[in-house]
């Protein structure tokens, strides 16, 4: 059980530290590119429907970017939380091992 818990913590930490910031940056770059194209289309078309669709797309992109930017604090908080927990765990690992063993023994006695 302890190994699974440690592996899960490692996977979450790796995802938050490495994958999430990369995906966040990709989204921001992609939305910026879509915005540029939407504005170019809106500026260069004579068709009113196409212009409205391009402007609607631009509006949606701004909304998505705003959501990403305002949720960035949530991501930062999650990264800080995981980092803090990792540091806390390193300083209390012997005590934690005792707790894990006690929990494991309790689970075994419950099953029996």
- Under 8 Å between Cβ of 17 and 82: yes
Q: What are the CA-CA distances from residue 48 to residues 3, 61, 85 (Å)?
A: 61, 20, 55
Q: How far apart are CA 57 and CA 51, in angstroms?
A: 10
Distance of CA 35 to the CA centre of its chain: 23
Q: Pick the range with the lowest mean pLDDT from 8-17, 57-66, 85-94.
A: 85-94
d(CA 59, CA 56): 5
More confident residue, 30 or 68: 30
Which whole number is the average pLDDT over 15-41?
91
Mean pLDDT of 60-67: 94
Where residue 111 falls among pLDDT bands split at 50, 70, 90?
very low
pLDDT for residue 106 is more than 70: no
Mean pLDDT of 16-35: 90
Distance CA 110, CA 1 (A): 15
């Amino acid at each position: 059980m302890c190994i699974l818990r440690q592996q899960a913590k490692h996977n979450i930490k790796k995802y938050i530290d490495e994958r999430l910031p990369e995906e966040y940056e990709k989204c921001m770059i992609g939305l910026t590119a879509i915005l540029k194209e939407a504005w170019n289309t809106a500026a260069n078309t004579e068709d009113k429907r196409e212009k409205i669709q391009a402007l609607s797309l631009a509006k949606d992109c701004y909304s998505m970017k705003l959501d990403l930017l305002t949720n960035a604090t949530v991501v930062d908080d999650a990264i800080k939380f995981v980092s803090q927990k990792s540091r806390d765990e390193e300083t209390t690992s012997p005590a934690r091992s005792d707790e894990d063993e006690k929990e494991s023994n309790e689970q075994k006695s419950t099953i029996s």
